C-alpha cells in the first residue's frame, strides 16, 4: 500500500486572511483610541461637575437663552478653527501622536460646552450687581442683627435679596456665612408676599437691569447720560440664584406661586414662612431674614433663639408703615450702640430720594400722591408710623434745646432719680429767680445721668461728681414704686440702699437730706404736667428748656409714644424708653418752685451745727423727717 503524498497548503486565501487580521488590529486600535477619548471626555465632564451646577446637558439645552449674536460668535469660523486646533493638540497628546479626525468633533463639542458654560456664568446677576454706598455698607457689616429701614421704592428688598442669594450660593465676598450646608428662614407678611416679592426677586429674572459694553455685560446705570440714551439696549438681569444651582423646589401652594423650600446643590436651603402662622420650634438656623410687616410678634423672638446654636445672623428690611414695635425697638438699640466697636444691631437708612435708579420725575410724582403729611413722612421719609402716636408732639429741638451754659449760683437745683440695675436715670433741673429778666419763669434741664449696670455705690459716686461744683440741691425725688422694692440679699429697700450710699458719699439736699421724696405716681397727670412745661407761654417761649448735652433726655422726649391695645383700642404710654421721662414727670408734678439757695461757704454757728447733727441722728433712727402726701407725694 502506497503512502499518500502530503497535501500542499492552500495559499490561495492568505492575502484575505492577512487583510482580515489587519482590519481587526485597526479596529482594536480605533477602539483603544475611542476609549482614550471617552476617558478624556469623562475627565472633562468630571472637572465640570466639580463646579456648582446641575447637569451639563441641561446647561447645553439652555443655549437657546443666549442672544443671536452670542450664538453666532460661538459658531464663528475663527472660533471653530481655534477649537479644532485645541482639540487636535489634546488628541495628539493622548494618542501618542496619532490623530483620528473622526473623533475630533467629540472633543470640539466638549470644549465648546465649557466655553458656553463660562460665557453663561459671566452673565449671572450676582457677578454684575453694583451696590450703592449704603447697600455696600450693609453687605460689609458683620453685626449679628441688621435692619434696613427706608421709604417705598428705596431699593431695600433688592439689597436683602442679593444678600440672601449670596448666602445660598456661597458667594458672599465678605465671608460672613458658611459656604455650604446652611439653612436660612425667610419670613414675609403672607404667602402672596413670599411669592410675589421675596421669591421673585431671588429666583426670577429682572431684579435689576443690565447692559452690554462691547463683549462685557454690566449693571445698567440710568442716572448716567450715556446709559440713559441706551435704555432700549438694556435688559432684565438673569435670576440672582442661577437655575443650574437649584437642586429642588417644593411649593406651599404652587398654583399661587407660594414657595415652601428651595434646596441648592451646595447643601444650603431656604425655608419660606408666612408671618400669619406660628414659627417652627426646635430648628437651628444660620440666617433669619424678615421682610416688611411681620404680623405675629413671636417670629422675632423665636428666630433669635433658633440662631443661637450656630451663632447665626439676622436682617430685616421694612418700610415702617405698620408701626412695628419690635422694629422700632431694634432701631433704638442701633441708635444707642452707634459708635461702638462691635455693635449688636446696626441700622441702614435707604430713602427714595437717594435711589438713582428711579428717575427724578417719578420720585416727584410718587411724593405728590401722598397728600397726607403723615403718609409722606412714613412712605417717603421712612419714619416710623408709631411716631404719629408721640406723647409729646409739642417738643421741637429748634425751640426746646439750647446750648449748655454754667448754672448761676443763685438758681435752685432739683434732682430726680429713677433707680434700676439695667439703667439708672437721673435728671437735674435748675430754676432761675423770677427777677432774672432773661431766664425768669423757665425750668432748665441742665444735666443727666444714664448709668448702665448700676449699683447704689456707682450711682452715689457719679451723682456726687455732678454736684461737686453746684450749689446744694433743694431736694431729691425718687421713683417711689421702684424705691419700695427690697434688694435681694440685703433686706432693705432700694431707696434706703441709695440713701445710705449718698450718706457715705457726703451728698445731701436741703429738704430731703440724704433721703428722697417720692415722685407722684399718676402717669397721665405727670405727662400732662410735662406738656404744660413744653407749651409756649405769653413770651412765645416754652417753660422747659433742655441743654444740648442731655442727649438721652432729648431722645426719650422725641421717641416716647403711645401703644394701642389691640383688644380695647385704648392708648397707653410705652415704658421701654422712659427712664428720664419718668424723672421729668416727678419734677414737673412737684412743680420745682424757686427757693433761694443757701451759701455753701457761709459759716455755720455751733448751735445750728448741733441742731443739724441732732436731726441727722433722728433721721438715721426714725427715717426721713418729712411727710408724704398720698401714696406717693412730695415733701413738706
Looking at residues 325-348, what average pLDDT do you find?
87
Q: Which helix (H) or strand (E) holds 186?
A: strand 183-188
For range 255-261, the mean pLDDT:
92
Quick one: pLDDT at residue 55?
44
Distance CA 286, CA 306 (A): 8
The yes-or-no verdict on residue 402 having pLDDT over 80 is: yes
**End-to-end Cα spacing for the chain:** 164
What's the average model confidence in pLDDT over 593-606?
A: 71
User: What pLDDT is recorded for position 267?
Assistant: 95
Q: What is the mean pLDDT of residues 237-249?
A: 93
Instruction: Identify the pLDDT of residue 52.
Output: 45
- CA within 13 Å, CB half, 397: 11
> By three-state DSSP, how is residue 109 classified?
helix
Sheet holding 216-219, edge to edge: 216-219, 209-213, 235-236
Q: Which residue has the higher pLDDT, 138 or 369?
A: 138
Q: What does the pLDDT look like over 283-302, one tens digit per residue?
A: 899 999 999 888 898 999 99
SS (H, E, C) 237-291: CCCCCCHHHEEEEEEEECCCCEEEEEEECCCCEEEEEECCCCCCCCCCCCEEEEE
- Per-residue pLDDT, 359: 84
Number of H helices, E strands in the chain: 23, 20
Residue 263 and residue 247 in contact, taking contact as beta carbons nearer than 8 Å: yes
Any idea what DSSP says for residue 2? P
Supply the pLDDT for residue 629: 43
Please say whether the beta carbons of 141 and 341 come within 8 A.
no
User: Domains (ranges, CATH) in the chain?
Assistant: 39-122 (no CATH), 127-387 (3.40.50.300), 397-622 (3.30.420.280)
Structure confidence at residue 354 (pLDDT): 84
Per-residue pLDDT band at 58 (split at 50, 70, 90): very low
Q: How confident is the model at residue 39 (pLDDT cuts 50, 70, 90)?
A: confident
Q: What are phi and psi of 241, to 5 degrees?
A: -105, 110
Compute CA distances 606 → 15, 506, 601, whole Å: 147, 20, 15
Amino acid at each position: 500500500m502506497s503512502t499518500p503524498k502530503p497535501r500542499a497548503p492552500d495559499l490561495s486565501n492568505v492575502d484575505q486572511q492577512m487583510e482580515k487580521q489587519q482590519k481587526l488590529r485597526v479596529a482594536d486600535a480605533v477602539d483603544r483610541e475611542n476609549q482614550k477619548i471617552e476617558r478624556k471626555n469623562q475627565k472633562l465632564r468630571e472637572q465640570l461637575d466639580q463646579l456648582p451646577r446641575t447637569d451639563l446637558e441641561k446647561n447645553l439645552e439652555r443655549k437657546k437663552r443666549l442672544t443671536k449674536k452670542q450664538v453666532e460668535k460661538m459658531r464663528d469660523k475663527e472660533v471653530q478653527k481655534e477649537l479644532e486646533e485645541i482639540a487636535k493638540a489634546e488628541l495628539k497628546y493622548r494618542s501618542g501622536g496619532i490623530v483620528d479626525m473622526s473623533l475630533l468633533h467629540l472633543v470640539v463639542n466638549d470644549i465648546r460646552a465649557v466655553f458656553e458654560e463660562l460665557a453663561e456664568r459671566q452673565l449671572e446677576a450676582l457677578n454684575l450687581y453694583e451696590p450703592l454706598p449704603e447697600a455696600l455698607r450693609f453687605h460689609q457689616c458683620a453685626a449679628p442683627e441688621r435692619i434696613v429701614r427706608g421709604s417705598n421704592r428705596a431699593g431695600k428688598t433688592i439689597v436683602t435679596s442679593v444678600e440672601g442669594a449670596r448666602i445660598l450660593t456661597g458667594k458672599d465676598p465678605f465671608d460672613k456665612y458658611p459656604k455650604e450646608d446652611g439653612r436660612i428662614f425667610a419670613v414675609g407678611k403672607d404667602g402672596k408676599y413670599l411669592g410675589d416679592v421675596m421669591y421673585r426677586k431671588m429666583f426670577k429674572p429682572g431684579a435689576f437691569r443690565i447692559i452690554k459694553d462691547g463683549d462685557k455685560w454690566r449693571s445698567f446705570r440710568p442716572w448716567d447720560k450715556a446709559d440713559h440714551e441706551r435704555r432700549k439696549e438694556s435688559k432684565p438681569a438673569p435670576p440672582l440664584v442661577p437655575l443650574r444651582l437649584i437642586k429642588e423646589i417644593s411649593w406651599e401652594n404652587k398654583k399661587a406661586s407660594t414657595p415652601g423650600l428651595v434646596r441648592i446643590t451646595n447643601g444650603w436651603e431656604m425655608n419660606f414662612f408666612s408671618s400669619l402662622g406660628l414659627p417652627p420650634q426646635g430648628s437651628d438656623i444660620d440666617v433669619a431674614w424678615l421682610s416688611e410687616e411681620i404680623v405675629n410678634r413671636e417670629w422675632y423672638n423665636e428666630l433669635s433663639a433658633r440662631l443661637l446654636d450656630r451663632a447665626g445672623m439676622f436682617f430685616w428690611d421694612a418700610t415702617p408703615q405698620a408701626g412695628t414695635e419690635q422694629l422700632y425697638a431694634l432701631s433704638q438699640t442701633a441708635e444707642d450702640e452707634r459708635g461702638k466697636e462691635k455693635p449688636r444691631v446696626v441700622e441702614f437708612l435707604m430713602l427714595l430720594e437717594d435711589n438713582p435708579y428711579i428717575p427724578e420725575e417719578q420720585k416727584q410724582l410718587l411724593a405728590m400722591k401722598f397728600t397726607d403729611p403723615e403718609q409722606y413722612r412714613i412712605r417717603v421719609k421712612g419714619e416710623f408710623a408709631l411716631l404719629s402716636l408721640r406723647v409729646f408732639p409739642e417738643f421741637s429741638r429748634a425751640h426746646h434745646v439750647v446750648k449748655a451754659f454754667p448754672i448761676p449760683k443763685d438758681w435752685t437745683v432739683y434732682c430726680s432719680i429713677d433707680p434700676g440695675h439695667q439703667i439708672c436715670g437721673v435728671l437735674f433741673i435748675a430754676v432761675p429767680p423770677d427777677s432774672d429778666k432773661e431766664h425768669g419763669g423757665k425750668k432748665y434741664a441742665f444735666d443727666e445721668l444714664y448709668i448702665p449696670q448700676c449699683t447704689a455705690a456707682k450711682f452715689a459716686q457719679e451723682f456726687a461728681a455732678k454736684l461737686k461744683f453746684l450749689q446744694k440741691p433743694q431736694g431729691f425725688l425718687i421713683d417711689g414704686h421702684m424705691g419700695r422694692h427690697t434688694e435681694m440679699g440685703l433686706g432693705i429697700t432700694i431707696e434706703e440702699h441709695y440713701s445710705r450710699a449718698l450718706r457715705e458719699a457726703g451728698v445731701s439736699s436741703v429738704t430731703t437730706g440724704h433721703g428722697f421724696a417720692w415722685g407722684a405716681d399718676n402717669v397721665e397727670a405727670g405727662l400732662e404736667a410735662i406738656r404744660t412745661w413744653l407749651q409756649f407761654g405769653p413770651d412765645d417761649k416754652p417753660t422747659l428748656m433742655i441743654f444740648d448735652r442731655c442727649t438721652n433726655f432729648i431722645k426719650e422726649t422725641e421717641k416716647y409714644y403711645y401703644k394701642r391695645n389691640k383688644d380695647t383700642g385704648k392708648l397707653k404710654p410705652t415704658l421701654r424708653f422712659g427712664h428720664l421721662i419718668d424723672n421729668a414727670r416727678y419734677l414737673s408734678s412737684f412743680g420745682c418752685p424757686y427757693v433761694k439757695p443757701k451759701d455753701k461757704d457761709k459759716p455755720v454757728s455751733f448751735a445750728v451745727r448741733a441742731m443739724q447733727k441732732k436731726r441727722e441722728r433722728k433721721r438715721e433712727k426714725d427715717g426721713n423727717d418729712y411727710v408724704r402726701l398720698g401714696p406717693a407725694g412730695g415733701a413738706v
